Amino acid sequence: MGQGVHSGDDTGFTLLETVIALTVLAVGIVGVVSVFASSFKLTVDNTARSRGTAAASEFVESIRAKPYASVMPDSTTTTTVVTKGGITYRLAGGVTAPAATPDMKQVTVTVSWTDGSGTHQMAQQSYLYPTPASTTTSISGGSAPAAPTSLIATVPTGAQGTTAVDLTWTPPSDPTGITGWVIARSGDNWLTSQIVATTNTPTSYAFRATQLSAGTTYQFRVASASASGLLSAWAPAATATTSAGAAGAPCNVQSATFSPAPVARSLPEPSPLTTAPWLTVETTGSCAGLHAIYHPSPTDTRTVFLVNTTGGTWQAQLLEAPAASWSLGDHEVQVLDQLENPVATAWLRVCEAGSSSC
């Protein structure tokens, strides 16, 4: 029988070559999978935080929707539990009246939740001011006025642009019932916000926001107000960044104090504070994004954002959700700016309820 003839270059892959090729392919697949896994986790975390922000906004807006005179500051905390996207959010908040501005009512809510990446917490604050005609005790009914549109934020030229932003807007086509405007401001994309003005000039569609920090981005919004204290929906927000200005005007803290102090904790465990103390920071220079980090216990770290209430005064209240278990003694509270630079240290003494030190 004849024998087959084989060419000398009739070759294939060796076992070693095959193993190397499969190894390289496996490494590439693992890298791609890890990238997708990280992206998916980041998306889930951001979605959970967005839902928490929405829950806090709903809490705040439910209070803001009430007539000013019917919102009564007190020391109690309202706790609500909501479920969004399969995650349970615990909201704790209430209404207080800062001593420095008795006509202002502060709405504060803290949201906490736990997901696959751990436990998270965020806070949101807003302020209520009386509208021009809401100082009487009787509040009439009626419908909210129509909302303004086309809010524009412009930075003035020259030195004024370091501390001010000019706002203009278009009134609604039906101005029935409008007695003025309410202007709100935020420096952190509405994580916290404050009312900076209420006007009684319904035919004026411009406002200059002042006492701002240089080189800082702010968000603004405007709503129509009626004589009965009702507000329209907010116009779409406008954003502006103040001019950087000259160097040499850093954020300087004059004082950082708590009131009341010392403060007692309650028993049994967990041991929350019997009164939520206010942290007040007095500053000069260009300060922005001030926040405080504190530790109720060695294993519990929390953050609260301060709000620039007037001039160089920044305030925040230590509202706790979930309830913290405070240890006795002096607690160091570090105040940082928006770049995470420490600018001050405050001390909060926690004592046992009924003890002589309290």
Residue 305 has which token pair?
Answer: 């954002």
346 pLDDT above the threshold of 90: yes
Q: Name every residue whose Cβ is closer than 8 Å to that of residue 68 and which is 6 or more positions away in sequence.
A: 105, 128, 129, 130, 131, 134, 229
What is the pLDDT, as a whole number, of residue 133?
33
152 pLDDT above the threshold of 50: yes
Q: Using a pLDDT cut of 70, give the percent of the chain over it.
A: 79
Q: What is the length of the chain?
A: 358
What is the pLDDT, as a whole number, of residue 142?
56
What is the pLDDT, as a whole number, of residue 269?
65
What whole-number distance in Å separates Cα of residue 39 and Cα of residue 57? 27
- Model confidence at 258, pLDDT cuts 50, 70, 90, reads very high
Q: What is the mean pLDDT of residues 75-95?
A: 78
Lowest mean pLDDT among 136-150, 211-225, 334-348: 136-150
What whole-number distance in Å separates Cα of residue 270 and Cα of residue 265? 9
What is the pLDDT, as a whole number, of residue 240?
93
210 pLDDT above the threshold of 70: yes
Decide if 223 contacts 195 (C-beta within 8 A). Answer: no
> Amino acid identity of 282?
E
Q: Name every residue whose Cβ is closer than 8 Å to that of residue 264 and which is 6 or more positions away in sequence.
A: 273, 274, 275, 350, 351, 352, 353, 354, 355, 358
What is the pLDDT, as a whole number, of residue 291?
87
Is the pLDDT higher at 347 or at 175?
Answer: 347
Residue 258 has which token pair?
Answer: 């708590």
Lowest mean pLDDT among 38-52, 134-148, 162-176, 330-344: 134-148
For 266, counting Cβ atoms within 10 Å of its Cβ (0-12 exposed, 13-18 middle, 19+ buried), the class is middle
What is the pLDDT, as a whole number, of residue 75?
55
pLDDT averaged over the chain?
A: 78
Is the pLDDT higher at 57 or at 343?
Answer: 343
Residue 142 region by backbone torsions, left for phi larger than 0, else alpha for psi between -120 and 50, else beta? left
6 pLDDT above the threshold of 60: no
Residue 294 has which token pair?
Answer: 């504190």
What is the pLDDT, as a whole number, of residue 136?
29
Is the pLDDT higher at 141 or at 186?
Answer: 186
> Amino acid identity of 41?
K
Neighbouring C-beta atoms of residue 184, cutoff 10 Å: 20
Report the predicted TM-score, pTM, of the whole model to 2 decimal places. 0.37
